[in-house]
Amino acid sequence: MTIPEKKIYPRTGDRQTIYLKDVITNPDITVGDYTMYNDFTKDPILFEKNNVLYQYPINHDRLVIGKFCSIACGARFLFNSANHTMRSLSTYPFPLFFEEWGLDSKDVTAAWDNKGDIVVGNDVWIGYEAVVLAGVTIGDGAVIGTRAVVTKDVPPYTIVGGVPAQPIKKRFPDKAVADLLEIRWWDWPREKIARNLTAIQEGRTGELK
Q: What is the mean pLDDT of the chain?
A: 94
Identify the pLDDT of residue 86.
Answer: 93
How sure is the predictor about 207, in pLDDT bands with cuts at 50, 70 and 90?
Answer: confident
Domain ranges of the chain: 17-171, 173-209
pLDDT of residue 206: 85
Q: How many residues are there in the chain?
A: 209
Mean pLDDT value across residues 14-38: 97
The CB density around residue 14, as the number of other CB atoms within 10 Å, is 11
Mean pLDDT along residues 103-129: 95
Report DSSP letters for the chain, one per residue. Answer: ---PPP-SS-STT-SSEEEGGGG---TTEEE-TT-EEE-SSS-GGGHHHHHEES--GGGT--EEE-SS-EE-TT-EEE-GGGSB-SSSS--S-GGGGHHHHT--GGGGGGGB-----EEE-SS-EE-TT-EEETT-EE-TT-EE-TT-EE-S-B-TTEEEETTTTEEEEESS-HHHHHHHHHH-GGGS-HHHHHHTHHHHHTT-GGGG-
Structure confidence at residue 2 (pLDDT): 47
17-171 has which CATH code?
Answer: 2.160.10.10
Give the residue numbers marked as catalytic.
Answer: 84
pLDDT grade for 1, boundaries at 50, 70 and 90 = very low
pLDDT in tens, 155-187: 999 999 999 999 999 999 999 999 999 999 999
- Predicted local distance difference test score (pLDDT) of residue 6: 59
Mean pLDDT across 175-203: 95
The 10s digit of each residue's pLDDT in 83-103 is 999 999 999 999 999 999 999
**What integer is the mean pLDDT of 30-34?**
98
pTM over 0.95: no
